[in-house]
């Protein structure tokens, strides 16, 4: 019998569109959720409604997100909505869920039980070692490019043997990919792309296993569906049986990750592949004022390939979108700082202000101005906890304790802290390992001379750590390895070591918190025989695949606390998370701003060639993605939105003179306000927006020497750029930090650069 009071509590706060989505029948559905339309509320309430109406048990629900943060938020919200035990439900990222399946079925997946996950830096190190051995270097074989090639092939579902090279260069890349595959298999490690590919391969070739999961997961809910790539969509189709209902929530207007392989056309394919009859648009926006939404709607309407929706709000029109054109990027940065100070004086906290830009390179000028004005700021997306060097060193030691054959971890810490194991020694060890087809760790006894004793001393640290897993809990194990490895003593002697030691202490705290959150016994050790995990295996375990285990808990069966924590650390390192403790203005790229919201937003650098980016100028598909990116930027703002551009910008070491962005022209006049700068030496004197007064016919011989956009040098003012030529042999010249100067060209002794 339904608890009517509880059902009212779940459903009463939903609008008509949200209610329709939450209470859909058990069929596949596509929910087009506009920015700020409450998609997380819809997802979590849908799960709660399914459970409370008795349509399904938590055991049969799979919820997929793109970040660990989103997964944790979903679970936290469900915890407040329901009193039921949710431990049987699987909630996680694509990579996290694939990792979970591979841990459960490691034998079927041809992996060691304690396989490690390579993060981006570890993968790069592995590629560098291969390139060095193969004597391949230069622009054609940069490690980052090779790693990108390998990942892109995996995301297409291609193994090295499946690649069909088009030329000699790609033939070499395919050969490197093949060596990389063998090396990873030998070492028992997988990269992020491998998690998804190997899981898909496992499900494809193992029909009993595939049918098991298809019968288990009756409801699959997917967040941010527009960001799925081809492999992720392939994985979803493998898990979906004929009776599975996929509840896909996304917004094609916010698909901005094509460069990562995201395919917005998956939304269209989903409607066809799953014969979707239920299609609901969430258009009620709870974030932004009307002028901001009207501007965003008008902009995105220029895209032709979209499913179509129109955001609306009951919060009123609010202030118009303010637009300002400035002479230079330095003027723009100074203006942003001035406006930030005004907003702060009005009572808006710094943390509720964001400055967005298309390219990371734009932050330099902005940062310089913020520093000069003594305004606290943070570049969002800086080094995260698990990416810090001291943490990665400690993690590498733990990876070796878990799996001594991990060569990437071995290379990272064999001589850190320094212990007399030089580059030559490691090269000799690597040669022996390859000759004997073994890991670096296993090759140590094959070494001769004094170098062997240093390597054996290092191996003893790892061996002692491995032995400690039988009698130490995870936090104590980490404490022990930080001390025995020499990391503690090393950072105690380092000038800036205090902060690093605090981070290492935080790693110990993180491990303790992990044990609590994941339901491990705090005193549980790493040895498999001591695990006390509640399996509650179902009766339909498939005999032909003995490694299938149905775990109603949040960590895979037979996975030690150490292995689980290492997986957690690697997966967390892939998520972008910001420190929100300090009141500071947030500086970030538009890509990084996805999913965030602020009281006031500045979108800077709105110039043709920058935003939209020059790479999209002759590509309709690329231009539509840039427009979606601009749409995302606009819809980050709640109350105040500022757009700015500069006539002159120094970027990538070059002076650029560009017209304002075409996106500005696509915004309705009734929703915008063109701002004018009062007279000031560093600005053009009250120049009209987007329409610098045209000069009279230039008949003077002086003008034939000069042109707008030309770089010049003045003995007093230094280097500058001609912004505008006027009749009467006069010109506006921007000298950067000196500002704008109105010069008589017949008198000023300018030199062309």
Residue that the structure tokens 């694939």 belong to? 98
Burial state string for 332-358 with b = 16 or more CB within 10 A and e = fewer than 16: bbbbbbebbeebbeeebebbbbbbbbb
Tokens of 322: 């303010």
Of the listed 17, 223, 488, 625, which one is catalytic?
Answer: 223
Determine contact, residues 666/634, Cβ cutoff 8 Å.
Answer: no
Helix (H) or strand (E) holding 571: helix 561-573
Residue that the structure tokens 């997961």 belong to? 217
Pick the closest to residue 659 from 615, 590, 618, 606 (CA basis): 606
For 477-498, the three-class secondary structure string (H helix, E strand, C coil) is HHHHHHHHCCHHHHHHHCCCHH
Task: Please give the Cα distance from 624 to 612 (Å, whole number).
Answer: 9
636 catalytic per annotation? yes
Pick the closest to residue 392 from 85, 119, 96 (CA basis): 119
Task: Please give the Cα distance from 752 to 706 (Å, whole number).
Answer: 8
Task: Please give the Cα distance from 510 to 388 (Å, whole number).
Answer: 14
Q: Beta strand pairing status for 711-714 and 672-674?
A: unpaired
412 catalytic per annotation? no
DSSP label at 607?
B
Pick the closest to residue 593 from 643, 645, 625, 633 (CA basis): 633
649 catalytic per annotation? no
Task: Please give the Cα distance from 465 to 562 (Å, whole number).
Answer: 11
Of the listed 122, 155, 194, 224, which one is catalytic?
Answer: 224
Q: Which residues contact 643 (CB under 8 A, 6 or more apart)?
A: 321, 322, 323, 324, 602, 603, 606, 664
Task: Please give the Cα distance from 743 to 724 (Å, whole number).
Answer: 11
Tokens of 327: 């002479």
Determine contact, residues 562/525, Cβ cutoff 8 Å.
Answer: no
Beta-carbon-side half-sphere exposure of residue 13 (alpha carbons within 13 Å): 9
Q: Which residues contact 595 (CB under 8 A, 6 or more apart)?
A: none
Of the listed 216, 287, 472, 636, which one is catalytic?
Answer: 636
What SS3 class is residue 39?
Answer: helix
Of the listed 17, 18, 39, 628, which one is catalytic?
Answer: 39
Of the listed 226, 232, 244, 254, which one is catalytic?
Answer: 254
Burial state string for 412-422 with b = 16 or more CB within 10 A and e = fewer than 16: bbbbbeeeebe
Task: Please give the Cα distance from 118 to 228 (Å, whole number).
Answer: 22
Q: Which residues contact 362 (CB under 8 A, 6 or more apart)?
A: 329, 604, 605, 610, 651
Task: Please give the Cα distance from 644 to 328 (Å, whole number).
Answer: 11
Q: Tell me: cis bond preceding 612? Omega within 30 of 0 counts.
A: yes
499 catalytic per annotation? no
Determine contact, residues 373/337, Cβ cutoff 8 Å.
Answer: yes
Report the catalytic residues. Answer: 39-40, 223-224, 254, 636
């Amino acid at each position: 019998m339904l608890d009517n009071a509880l059902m009212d509590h779940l459903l009463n706060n939903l609008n008509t569109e949200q209610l329709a989505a939450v209470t859909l029948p058990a069929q596949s559905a596509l929910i087009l959720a506009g920015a700020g339309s409450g998609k997380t509320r819809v997802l979590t309430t849908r799960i709660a409604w399914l459970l409370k109406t008795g349509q399904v048990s938590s055991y049969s629900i799979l919820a997929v997100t793109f970040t660990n943060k989103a997964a944790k938020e979903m679970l936290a919200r469900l915890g407040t909505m329901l009193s039921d035990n949710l431990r049987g439900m699987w909630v996680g990222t694509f990579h996290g869920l694939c990792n979970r399946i591979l841990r459960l079925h490691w034998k079927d997946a041809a992996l060691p039980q304690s396989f490690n996950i390579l993060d981006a830096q570890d993968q790069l190190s592995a590629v560098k070692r291969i390139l060095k051995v193969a004597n391949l270097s230069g622009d054609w074989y940069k490690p980052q490019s090779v790693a990108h090639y390998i990942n892109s092939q995996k995301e297409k579902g291609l193994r090295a043997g499946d690649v069909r090279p088009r030329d000699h260069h790609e033939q070499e890349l395919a050969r490197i990919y093949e060596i990389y595959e063998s090396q990873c298999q030998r070492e028992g490690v997988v990269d992020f792309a491998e998690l998804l590919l190997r899981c898909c391969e496992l499900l494809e070739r193992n029909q009993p296993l595939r049918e098991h999961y298809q019968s288990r997961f009756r409801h699959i809910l997917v967040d941010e569906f527009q960001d799925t790539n081809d492999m992720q969509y392939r994985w979803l189709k493998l898990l979906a049986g004929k009776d599975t209902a996929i509840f896909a929530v996304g917004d094609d207007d916010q698909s901005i990750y094509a460069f990562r392989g995201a395919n917005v056309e998956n939304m269209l394919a989903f409607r066809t592949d799953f014969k979707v009859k239920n299609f609901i648009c969430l258009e009620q926006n709870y974030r932004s004022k009307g002028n901001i939404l009207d501007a965003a709607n008008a902009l995105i309407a220029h895209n032709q390939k979209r499913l179509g929706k129109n955001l609306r709000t009951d919060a009123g029109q609010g202030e118009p979108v303010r637009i300002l054109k400035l002479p230079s990027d330095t003027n723009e940065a100074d203006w942003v700082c001035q406006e930030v100070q005004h907003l702060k004086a009005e009572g808006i906290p710094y943390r509720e202000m964001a400055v967005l830009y298309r390219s990371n390179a734009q932050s330099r000028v902005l940062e310089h101005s913020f520093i000069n004005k003594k305004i606290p700021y943070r570049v969002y997306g800086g080094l995260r906890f698990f990416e810090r060097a001291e943490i990665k060193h400690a993690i590498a030691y733990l990876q070796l304790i878990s799996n001594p054959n991990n060569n990437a971890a071995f290379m990272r810490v064999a001589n850190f802290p320094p212990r007399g194991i030089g580059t030559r020694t490691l090269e000799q060890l690597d040669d022996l390992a390859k000759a004997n087809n073994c890991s670096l760790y296993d090759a140590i006894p094959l070494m001769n001379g004094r170098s062997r004793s240093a390597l054996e001393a290092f191996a003893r640290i790892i061996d002692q750590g491995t032995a400690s897993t039988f009698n130490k809990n995870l936090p104590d194990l980490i404490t022990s390895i930080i001390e025995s490895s020499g990391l503690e003593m090393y950072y105690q002697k380092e000038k800036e070591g205090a902060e690093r030691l605090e981070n290492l202490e935080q790693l110990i705290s993180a491990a303790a918190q992990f044990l609590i959150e994941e339901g491990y016994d705090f005193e549980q050790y790493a040895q498999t025989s001591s695990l006390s995990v509640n399996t509650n295996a179902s009766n339909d375990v498939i005999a032909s695949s003995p490694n299938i285990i149905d775990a109603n808990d949040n960590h895979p069966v037979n996975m030690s606390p150490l292995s689980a924590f290492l997986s957690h650390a690697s997966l967390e390192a892939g998520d972008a998370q910001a420190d929100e403790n300090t009141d500071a203005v947030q500086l970030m790229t538009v890509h990084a701003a996805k999913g965030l919201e602020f009281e006031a937003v500045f979108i800077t650098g709105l110039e043709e060639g920058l935003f939209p980016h020059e790479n999209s100028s002759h590509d309709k598909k690329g231009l539509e993605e840039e427009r979606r990116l601009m749409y995302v930027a606009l819809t980050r703002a709640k109350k105040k939105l500022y757009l700015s551009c500069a006539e002159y910008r120094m970027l990538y070491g070059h002076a650029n003179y560009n017209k304002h962005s075409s996106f500005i022209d696509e915004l309705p006049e009734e929703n915008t306000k063109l701002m004018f700068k009062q007279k000031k030496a560093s600005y053009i004197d009250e120049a009209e927006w987007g329409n610098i007064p045209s000069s009279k016919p230039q008949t003077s011989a002086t003008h034939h020497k000069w042109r707008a956009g030309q770089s010049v040098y003045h003995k007093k003012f230094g280097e500058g750029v001609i912004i505008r030529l006027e009749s009467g042999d006069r010109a506006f010249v921007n000298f950067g930090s000196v500002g704008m100067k109105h010069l008589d060209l017949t008198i000023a002794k300018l030199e062309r650069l």
